Amino acid sequence: MKVLIGDIDLFKVVGGGQAFYRAIVERHPEIEFSYIRISEGPDATRPANAHPIDFKEPYRPDESILPNRAFTYNAFRFSCNMAASVAGEAFDLVDLPDYRVDTGFLRPAMEAHSVGFERFAISMHGLSSIGYRNNWPCREPDPAIPQMEALEQHMFESADLRYAISEAYIDWSRGRCPGLAFQYYHPLYFFKLPEVIEQDPGGGPPDLNFLGRRAGIKGADLFLKLLVALPRSAYGSARIMGDDVKNSEGTPSGAVLGPLMEGRDLGVEITGAYTKHDLRRVWGERSITVLTSRWDTLNLVALESLFSGVPTVISRHAGACRFLDEAFPSVPYTRIDPFDSSESARLVTPLLSGYDRARADLLAGLERADRRPSGLELPAIYGQPPSFSAAGREALCRAYDRLFERQPKP
């Protein structure tokens, strides 16, 4: 079976989606996976069944084609160039991540460039438009967001298959695409749960660690508001660990986080991207992981933290809550509404004051957890009957044809 993954530099880029694809490539050596390479080096370590295809850019930008809808035009042009990069190839399936809305025109573009394929699948990790809508506030509405949403809708409706690692995300998506089929891919097919990390002995209040990109959707500001609602003596130190993220106007996270910390003794250290070694270090200390997402498809960090033996606080807006409730009912965690800092502080306080008991209960729950995945494996998902909207597919093709007529040809 030959599969084209509609993503870039899989064995260079650090990100949740790329980590997912690397894992499934390694898990399924019987499938030949191709992907697009832009800056990944030729000496990158990759499995024998991973085949990079160099990106070509024969279609040059012409801003006069769609001057008031720059995002839509750029997505069209990127899709054309990706299709041109694989012109003449043939694939059994194209696996397109939903976060790459800039490849939203890829299906009609591949048809126009004589690329053979049997099916298109959407791999559901989280829509770009949701991230933009939940990022740091802008002075003016971002005109790209409604364009993203329209193209995302076309992508979902025109695809033959849709699959997700989060049942909560599937239920949400069914409301947007009634009548279409969605498949669930159990996270433990590709994600290996860690073993418990021994913690340094000691007493005193535990530290509080926020782990995640400093994007609005991840809620670092809500973490700070939780700290404000807690007595300073209730916890040791606090950390925000993760890359800075700017909004579409270039405003960094510091513009939002700084005023929340100003004049307050919150004991917060803000660091950049973290490594596995960094996680093992902080999880080997007396600590609690706090994940205050505004929206999260799943949040694998929550699972990694809990199974490392760290008491964990999770936003009720994260798909991890449903997954834990259904797959691991014996594993305790604290669910909060991060928008209600006072109530969140009330729920977190027992973890802080009774840390040793909370961790002992967690370790006991982990002992009883059944770590076996269930449900369809990826090849079976790829083989499910097609389910698509003919009207949605036709609308996407019409939009592509209108733009292609005006685009200067190579």
Q: Which numeric CATH code is attached to 2-190+378-406? A: 3.40.50.2000
Residues of each domain in the chain carrying CATH 3.40.50.2000: 2-190+378-406, 207-367
In this structure, the dihedral spanned by the alpha carbons of residues 394, 396, 399 and 400, taken in order and rounded to 10 degrees, is: -110
Condensed to tens digits (0 to 9), the pLDDT of residues 213-242 reads: 999 999 999 999 999 999 999 999 999 999
Q: Is 133 helix (H, G, I), strand (E, B) or coil?
A: helix
Complete DSSP assignment for 160-183: SEEEES-HHHHHHHHHHSTT---E
pLDDT band at 59 (very low <50, low <70, confident <90, very high): very high
235, 353 contact by CB (below 8 A): no
pLDDT band at 37 (very low <50, low <70, confident <90, very high): very high
Q: Is 241 helix (H, G, I), strand (E, B) or coil?
A: strand
Is 207-367 CATH 3.30.420.40? no
In this structure, the dihedral spanned by the alpha carbons of residues 170, 172, 173 and 176, taken in order and rounded to 10 degrees, is: 160
Does the pLDDT of residue 202 top 90, yes or no? Answer: no
Q: What percent of the chain has pLDDT over 70?
A: 100
Does the reported pTM lie above 0.85?
A: yes
Q: List all residues 6 or more positions away from 118 whose beta carbon is below 8 Å from its beta carbon.
A: 91, 92, 93
Condensed to tens digits (0 to 9), the pLDDT of residues 2-29 reads: 999 999 999 998 778 899 999 999 999 9
